[in-house]
Chains A and B, each alone.
Chain A
Amino acid sequence: MGHRVPHVTHYLTEHFADPGYTTLSGYRAQGGYETARRVLAEQSPEEVIGTLKNAGLKGRGGAGFDAGLKWSFMPRDQAGPSYLVCNADESEPGSFKDRVLMERGPHQLLEGILIPAFATGAATTFLYIRGEYAEPARILQRAIDEATAGGVLGSNVLGTGFAHQVVLVRGAGAYICGEETGLLESLEGKKGQPRRKPPYPAECGAFGRPTTVNNVETFCHVPHVFARGVDWFRSIGTEESPGTTLFGVSGHVERPGLYELPLGTRLDEIIFEHAGGVPGGRKLKAAIPGGVSMPLLPAGHLDVPMANEFLREHGSSLGTGGVIVMDETTCMVRVGCVISEFFRDESCGQCTQCREGTGWLHKLMLRIERGGGTEADLDVLEDVAGKMEGQTICAFADAAAWPVQALLRHFRSEFLEHVRAEKCPFPESFEL
């Protein structure tokens, strides 16, 4: 954990150094669940959604969709149950914030779930967590059990008469189950293959019922918005992207880790001031702003504020806020090999463009890296990536195409060097 600038507001992680904060009594000692109790007792669901819309909280799972707006899509007049889903599948390479949010603040997450659960009238929240997260699952289940025994969850939530249960569901190793409709399929005990949309989950989601899916971090912000108010929340971050976020910084930096900082903090400030810059006096070559799906930025473009409205101008996006830093020794074709291998292995295989395209991208990358590539291969890479974009059931294929396009846009000369030298010109680079 690095909170190096004292004036920075960090509300999500404020108590994370305290191990007692993971218990119900420790959480309550910090005023925990008071906000949810007050909101559920005093406000109508419409008021809650109105407040959230005014706050402008954007989803932190990658797409940045407005949370209050998403909740307003839930039908209020239907008979039968509706559901909330907490997406804890966190599998985007470069992301590790949700794990820490669950391990250090499980009750903060549960309180963040209760408020939208009440606002959307959901009977149950399914908390879908990736199978590898055994330790966070254990911590969460303990928190759920404690909260249920303590009257925080169950038939009379915090004495307000609202009924809500949280059911923890563990995945079994498949990246695509992070895509919200792949997740819903998996939740129903099926292969995690994304659904065609429409219908959208708010209409027909988990088990055929109206459902809203949000990311772990998105929920965690909610109690703070209601505890301190919309004006306070909007005073942090940017006009379009209020609040803080957890930037996970990894790769070639002195101090890898999570940094809770306002949205709009400049990428170079995050890398050099907070994460300590590149070790060994080496120069920075490129950085990925938000997990491997997001197009990378070369060294000259790092003065960008980390919020979607600014990153968009640089052809990239905030994604999950997982910043991956690469120093000057790094071979960008190897980076392409590693990223495209990931997408080849994790494609769910439903769409031909994605299944075949991800395989091709990886094969071409490897061929170029090994010195067997031709100049024409670069055009084929671009062509394949272009044909994958916007053509498929889910956004996975776009996410596979974007990093390749960005690599060719910014580092085409390096690809050409491989072709001309018939070998990799970066002997110092990381081992492939």
Chain B
Amino acid sequence: MVSVATRAAIDAEIAKMPEKRGALLAALRLVQAEYGYLPPEVMEEVAQIFGLHPTEVFEVVSFYNHFHVQPRGRHEVNVCTSLTCSLRGGRGLLRQLQAYLGVRAGQTTEDGRISLGHEECLGACGNAPMLRIDDTYHLDLDWVRTQQLLDGLE
């Protein structure tokens, strides 16, 4: 069951929209923040809140990159591999990260600390190469700085 606080936050999002379903993405974001991912029974509960069939919720979840149906690491580390970052070494950075963490992009470290991934342009091309750790952008990176950032993660 989603917590009382999350449920209240979902209701507040619903109140902002002309139709209930307009708050579905916001609700999924809130629920995922509580559980770290979207377990099936939680998606069913969301479906119930919105008066939708569970498959309608699954479909939406699978369309968007930010929703996860498997448990994730404590931190999301996503390297930008679009054109400008690639031109300035972004893919090299990703290769080094994979070697350093011992996982491929798309995987989570064994200690559950980091889920490594790559993303398309994050709108910070003027500071390439860059990556995103959870909600924070880190800009103008080289390998030394990237390593420091990783080592600083709990």
Query: B-contacting residues of A (Cβ < 8 Å)?
Result: 81, 90-96, 98-99, 124, 130-135, 167, 169-175, 186-192, 206-207, 209, 248-252, 256-258, 288, 292, 322, 324, 326, 330, 334-335, 338-339, 341-342, 345-346, 430-432
Contacts and interface: CB of A to CB of B under 8 A. Distances in A.
29 contacts: A81-B18, A93-B121, A96-B123, A99-B123, A131-B29, A134-B136, A169-B22, A170-B26, A172-B25, A172-B67, A173-B65, A174-B63, A189-B50, A190-B24, A206-B18, A207-B18, A209-B18, A250-B126, A324-B84, A324-B87, A330-B87, A338-B82, A339-B83, A342-B83, A430-B86, A430-B92, A431-B86, A431-B91, A432-B86
B122 to A, nearest CB: 5
Interface string B39-55: 00000000000100000
A251 B84 contact: yes
Given A94-B84, A133-B123, A192-B63, 14 more contacts: A93-B84, A93-B120, A94-B82, A98-B123, A170-B26, A172-B25, A249-B126, A251-B88, A256-B126, A257-B126, A338-B86, A342-B83, A430-B87, A430-B91
B28 A172 contact: yes
Contacts of A124: 18
A91 B123 contact: yes
A99 B124 contact: yes
A257 B22 CA distance: 36
Contact of B123 (A132, A187, A256): A132
Contacts of A191: 59-60, 63
A90 B123 contact: yes
Nearest to B52: A189
Contacts of B107: none
B23 A189 contact: yes
B125 A96 contact: yes
Contacts of A189: 19, 21-25, 50, 60
Given A92-B121, A93-B121, A338-B82, A250 B128 contact: yes
Given A172-B28, A342-B82, A188 B21 contact: yes
B126 A132 contact: no
A190 to B, nearest CB: 7
Nearest to B16: A167
B89 interface: yes
A132 B60 contact: no
Given A134-B135, A191-B59, A430-B91, A93 B128 contact: no
Contacts of B136: 134-135
Interface residues of B, number: 45
Contacts of B120: 91, 93, 175, 342, 345-346
B125 A248 contact: yes
Interface core residue of B63, B65, B128 (most chain A CB under 10 Å)? B63
A135 B122 CA distance: 12
A430 B125 CA distance: 16
Given A93-B120, A132-B119, A338-B81, A250 B66 contact: no
A91 B19 contact: no
Contacts of B127: 256
Nearest to B62: A191
Contact of A252 (B19, B87, B135): B87
Interface in B96-154: 119-128, 132, 135-137
Given A189-B22, A250-B126, A95 B87 contact: no
B17 interface: yes
A75 to B, nearest CB: 17
Contacts of A132: 119, 122-123, 132
B90 to A, nearest CB: 9
B89 A250 contact: no
B7 to A, nearest CB: 17
Nearest to A258: B126
A172 B65 contact: yes
Nearest to B94: A431
Given A93-B83, A338-B83, A430-B86, A207 B19 contact: yes
Interface core residue of A93, A175, A207, A338 (most chain B CB under 10 Å)? A93
Interface core residue of B29, B84, B95 (most chain A CB under 10 Å)? B84
Contacts of A206: 18
Given A173-B66, A339-B83, A93 B125 contact: yes
A172 B84 contact: no
Given A170-B26, A172-B67, A251-B87, A431 B95 contact: yes
Contacts of A190: 21, 24, 60
Interface core residue of B123, B127, B136 (most chain A CB under 10 Å)? B123
Contacts of B125: 93-96, 248, 250-251, 256, 322, 324
B64 A430 contact: no
Contacts of B26: 169-170
Contact of A248 (B24, B59, B66, B126): B126
Kindly list the 7 A-B residue pairs having the minimum CB-CB distance in the complex, ordered from nearest. A173-B65, A189-B24, A172-B64, A93-B121, A134-B135, A250-B125, A189-B21
A135 B82 contact: no
Interface core residue of A90, A99, A249, A251 (most chain B CB under 10 Å)? A251
